[in-house]
Structure 1
């Protein structure tokens, strides 16, 4: 990122946190956000988010709401008025908390979960005269999921495709109508007797979204099928996969 030469040699970085863990989150600057994921529905159209300034300086934050869609492996965001968050800007003194109210301003979808992100961004303070070093602003993206009228259920379909003598490309497609959060992948030989590869893959798969990962195998490709263990929010799912040829 290029330096802002108008602020006396200070370099400002915008750090985006994709909050993909359970519980609350506290940034290095001392801004705490709880919860880090919001679920709304027709029966529960509003929720509360708590911001807390755990630092020693006054913090000003502004809110931005984005619609979250997926096309293939790509995530797409665009401004939206389908949900609202108030207040849109807040000043927090050290030790102060602020409640943000989040609510629906549209009907829920009949058959598919809707996804959004609420971005909480620090407004950088004016630089001090002769300031040197780094000025860091925080940007946190809190996922918001809107349940459909029918039961929301993710469903992953997996493929394993040969990629040379010692690697496999894993393909996952969420054929359900709700998101799923992945946290890790392990590949074993048939019978689950030998670990071939493992990878941390923290991220979401929205309804209809596909992703793929290259898995480097230890000891080359085995004969027979592969056993995939995928760690997800609901738990670990084991799947036996035929090794396909591209």
Structure 2
């Protein structure tokens, strides 16, 4: 099972595809940190049906990878986790606790990242699966999807973000923009809160504040990953030899 989605803020992605307001649920919480061993390797979630009609929800876990532009890709991680129950039929107003247990490496060298995938399916799908599991084949329409965050975090891991590259480039309409590549060389994810950039361009000092860098602030760089961002460049600012530093 492979997925390709776009990362958004608050580590949450919902898909609403031709869905009636009668169909809805909540995944609580949306993010959890697991210990790789011991009691912290099991965490609980709640699936809440806040409507009157019964719903069917299936829970699974996928690995989380991210490319240079921030696009995420996912692969099945069912061997790394035990989920109970993984399939639920919830009556209207009902809440179901779901226990998720990490079964993978007990001593990872760095933080590991996954997504908890909770999907609302047509209720007859799970009913048919319970009666005749072999009948569940082909593509299934997903009514609502949550992507939660799972972090397997060993002790003493830290992010370490360095400036990898600054590069001038032109947009399709010929305007200048600055491409900045950051590399998280640390052992934990980095969240670029209040990201600010200090530049020296052709000898002129320029500071870009968090409110000017909203496309960077609060973005995530996973451990060992690089992220590339582009910054529109005003025609009134110099373009030339450039050096920079940052903080967040």
TM-score, normalised on structure 1?
A: 0.69
- In structure 2, C-alpha distance between the alignment counterparts of 1:219 and 1:168, rounded to whole Å: 12
- In structure 2, C-alpha distance between the alignment counterparts of 1:49 and 1:98, rounded to whole Å: 8
Question: What's the CA shift string for 1:24-52, capped at 9, x where partnerless?
Answer: x9x87431111111111124111100111
Between Structure 1 and Structure 2, the one with more strand by share is 1
TM-score, normalised on structure 2?
A: 0.68
Note the 1:168-187 alignment, pairs <5 A. Answer: 168-182=178-192, 185=195, 187=197
Q: Could you say what secondary structure the match of 1:21 adopts?
A: helix
Question: What's the CA shift string for 1:131-189, capped at 9, x where partnerless?
Answer: xxxx97111111111113x4111111123222246310011111111112346755566
Name structure 1 gaps, 5 residues minimum.
1-15, 127-134, 230-236, 238-246
Between Structure 1 and Structure 2, the one with more helix by share is 2
Note the 1:8-157 alignment, pairs <5 A. Answer: 20-21=9-10, 29-41=23-35, 42-43=37-38, 44-70=40-66, 72-73=68-69, 75-80=72-77, 81-125=79-123, 137-148=143-154, 150-157=155-162
Question: What's the CA shift string for 1:193-243, capped at 9, x where partnerless?
Answer: 8899433345432111111111112344447755645xxxxxxx1xxxxxx
Name structure 2 gaps, 5 residues minimum.
125-140, 200-204
Name the structure 1 match of 2:232.
216
- In structure 2, C-alpha distance between the alignment counterparts of 1:34 and 1:209, rounded to whole Å: 28
| Alpha-carbon RMSD | 3.4
Alignment coverage as a number of residue pairs = 204
- In structure 1, C-alpha distance between the alignment counterparts of 2:59 and 2:209, rounded to whole Å: 48
